[in-house]
Amino acid sequence: MGICNNRNIIITGAGGGLGRAYAIALAVEGAGVIVNDIRREAAEAVVAEIRAAGGKAIANSDDITSMTGAAAIVKAGIDAFGDVHGVVNNAGIVRDRMFASMSEEEWDLVIKVHLKGHFCIANTLVKHWRDQVKAGAKVDARIINTSSGAGLQGNIGQSNYSAAKGGIASLTLVQAAELGRYGITANALAPAARTSMTEGPFGAMMKKPEDGSFDHYAPENVAPLVVWLCSPLSAHVSGKVFEVEGGKLSIATGWKTGPIRDKKARWNPAELTDVVDTLIAESPKPQKVYGT
């Protein structure tokens, strides 16, 4: 018996890297897996691997960035397994460029795949789960989003990606606050692992060790948390952003109101220098933007 028996989970971008690791780990724990990837052959290869090991999976290559595509993905899962109980929003791309040199197309495409892609499929599923609740069913559903350290701290050369991933972290908080009434939890991941998106800038640092020691950046290290978040065991946890790297696990604390100075009247612009400098000195030092 696995901890995800009788659970059916959609994973986007599951044809390789982190998504593939999640799909295989979920199948091992009994889940029916909808392996979504625009690369149909990659999705089918992962499905074949899961089925060869005795697991349940189907391949899907519909577009996550449109409501039509999202509806087709959800329908495929329901048709194959009877229902869908969660989504792992994992698909993503990068178009790295320094901000001053970034094109409109590079900005729009990254925002579309990451931020809109997260919206379309989650919104489609939420309506499905809400309808079930209204019909008297008990729902125990999961939204698992993918943010990034770049979304939490920022990263030089990735203003588009950082903005999208920061938006996803905030989206997760709102989803958790709004959707708990329907039996839906929403959490996010900020994983550090070896994937096609990290091969360029972090390829040397993240390469697999040749001496057989612990592979710190293996995508499989992130999968146990994803499996747990998809399972009934995590029903009490929502609105969290988990940072995962190797064997390390933490929960990001996020933005919160810092020290306050209240004049009880309107500030004069000229007097704000000392006030702001004092507030900065009294505030916790933020983590540095990556690359600085």
At 87-146, the pLDDT tens digits run: 999 999 999 999 999 999 999 999 999 999 999 999 999 999 999 999 999 999 999 999
Query: What pLDDT does residue 256 have?
Result: 87
| Candidate list 147, 159, 161, 162, residue with the active-site label | 161
The pLDDT value given to residue 199: 60
- Reply yes or no on whether 148 is catalytic: yes
- The residue among 33 and 216 whose pLDDT is bigger is 33
Question: From the candidates 148, 159, 162, 238, which is the catalytic residue?
Answer: 148
Catalytic residue among 22, 162, 165, 217: 165
pTM of the complete model = 0.92
Distance from C-alpha of 172 to C-alpha of 147, rounded to nearest angstrom: 9
pLDDT for residue 61: 98
Report the share of the chain in percent with pLDDT over 70. Answer: 96
Listing DSSP states for 182-225 in one string gives GTEEEEEEEEE---TTTHHHHHHHHPPPTTS---TT-GGGTHHH
User: Is a pLDDT exceeding 70 seen at residue 22?
Assistant: yes
pLDDT at 197 over 70: no
Query: pLDDT at residue 200 above 90?
Result: no
Tell me if residue 283 is catalytic. no
Q: Which residue has the higher pLDDT, 290 or 106?
A: 106
Mean pLDDT, all residues of the chain = 94
> What are the backbone dihedrals phi and psi of residue 43, each rounded to the nearest 5 degrees, phi first?
-65, -45
Domain boundaries, the chain: 8-251
pLDDT band with cut points at 50, 70 and 90 for residue 171: very high
Instruction: Give Cα separations from 131 to 67, 172, 184, 261 (angstroms).
Output: 18, 21, 13, 47
* 22 classed as catalytic: no
Residue where the block lists tokens 């060869």: 52
Q: pLDDT tens digits for 205-262?
A: 667 767 778 788 899 999 999 999 999 999 999 999 999 999 999 999 988 899 999 9
| 8-251 is classed CATH 1.10.3720.10 | no
